[in-house]
Amino acid sequence: MSKKIFIGTDSGATTTKLCAVWETGEPVSNKVLQRSTGSENGREAVIHSWITGVSDFLTQNNLQWSHVAGVGLAIPGPYERYGVWSNTPNLPKSFAGWDVFTDYKTALAQQAGRELPLVCGNDGNYGGVAEARLARGNAKISVLMLMPGSGLGAAFVGADGLCLDGDTLAGMEAGHMPVPLQLLGLTGKPFTCGCGRDWGCVEAYTTISGLPQLLVERIKNFPDHELARSTAPTKEKVLSLRTRAQKGDALALDIFDFQARVMGIHVANLAMALDPAIVVIGGGLMDHEATTPEFRVRYMNAIRAAARPYLWAPQKDTIKIVPAALGELSQAIGAALMAMYQSQDKH
Ligand SMILES: [Zn+2]
């Protein structure tokens, strides 16, 4: 019997990650192949990087182009339309309006010697697809995923395994919904957010992007803390917080407890609209190499405790809030799974 695989290409501005799944959805390898995207060298360089990346992945796993039954491409937004980049942060301005879907599809056909089905979507949403498949097993249930990092990634994956994209591909930009500020005991203006909204975006209260503002707010209660007297640049101060928290630093723990509380309230907020059976929490704070088991338990429990009072009675006992499992593999695997789902006509 000939083997069939589906390739996932997860392209960020600087790094492209490649992975693949078998027809069963199981990963071909637990090792992700990484390549420089080469976006600074223009469009052709990017396509070349993706194609040679796939070839190298196949060689490393003793596979050939003839085994490839479909390809998925995960890219950051925003988009002008399906498979077409808009003015996307961190990418060259000249990429706006570039139909990456068509160019990648053409290059894949040239390389494989035949047409290959291609599916293209938002990287965060595709990461959710992979985590959801793992979290729910064989159960037909829906999964919400939140990934606090530099920003707040969010995805909703329905019981059919597919992510919610919305009609302008801006679905689940849940990091830019407002926080119910009256619950947080903060006075003064809402935190600013990179998106420009002034209503106090959740992203500003739960991620690295908002840490400078949160540090100014919370350090008021720790006047004798080393960081209160430090003249180090703000960026250096905030980037030290995660490590400090692992050592039990009271200010750092206070800050991540606060972030977890906002995240929990947001989980409950989203549960009013989406009613998921499982909520997966990903991002750098769940990274086993960066945080301790004690810290992760504390953070997850703080999210659960903050969500609980605002959930409906049946949800309180049924919603599972769990840490992510795939880490940096999730978006490439999600892209491969989407290619597989498409071939199985799940659309
Ligand atoms: Zn925002």
CA 213–ligand 1 middle distance (angstroms): 14
Task: List Cβ neighbours of 282 (8 Å cut-off, separation of 6 or more).
Answer: 127, 131, 145, 146, 147, 148, 153, 323, 324, 327, 330
Q: Which pLDDT value is given to residue 312?
A: 97
Predicted confidence (pLDDT) at residue 89 exceeds the cutoff of 90: no
pLDDT band at 313 (very low <50, low <70, confident <90, very high): very high
pLDDT tens readout for residues 67-79:
999 999 999 888 9
CA 112–ligand 1 middle distance (angstroms): 42
Predicted confidence (pLDDT) at residue 2 exceeds the cutoff of 90: no
Quick one: 50 and 151 in the same domain?
no
Quick one: 15 and 63 in the same domain?
yes
* Kind of pairing between the strands at 143-148 and 15-22: unpaired
CA 148–ligand 1 middle distance (angstroms): 13
Separation between Cα atoms, residue 328 and residue 318, nearest integer Å? 28
CA 344–ligand 1 middle distance (angstroms): 36
Number of folded domains that form the chain: 2
CA 15–ligand 1 middle distance (angstroms): 25
CATH code of the domain containing 295: 3.30.420.40
CA 76–ligand 1 middle distance (angstroms): 16
Quick one: 90 and 148 in the same domain?
no
Predicted confidence (pLDDT) at residue 119 exceeds the cutoff of 60: yes
Quick one: 97 and 195 in the same domain?
no
Q: Which pLDDT value is given to residue 347?
A: 44
Quick one: 77 and 34 in the same domain?
yes
Q: Which pLDDT value is given to residue 50?
A: 98
Look up tokens 């206070």; give the residue.
254
* Mean pLDDT, residues 197-215 taken together: 96
CA 178–ligand 1 middle distance (angstroms): 8
CA 193–ligand 1 middle distance (angstroms): 5
Q: Which pLDDT value is given to residue 177?
A: 97
Q: Which pLDDT value is given to residue 339?
A: 97
State the pTM of this model: 0.90
Final residue before a domain boundary, out of 92, 116, 140: 116
CA 208–ligand 1 middle distance (angstroms): 13
Quick one: 158 and 242 in the same domain?
yes
* Mean pLDDT, residues 210-224 taken together: 96
Average pLDDT, the chain: 94
Final residue before a domain boundary, out of 93, 116, 139: 116
pLDDT tens readout for residues 130-164:
999 999 998 999 999 999 998 899 999 999 999 99
Burial class (CB in 10 A: 0-12, 13-18, 19+), 94: exposed
CA 206–ligand 1 middle distance (angstroms): 11
* Mean pLDDT, residues 89-110 taken together: 95
The boundaries of the domain holding residue 77 are 5-116
pLDDT tens readout for residues 227-240:
999 999 999 999 99
Note whether 269 and 275 are within 8 A (CB): no
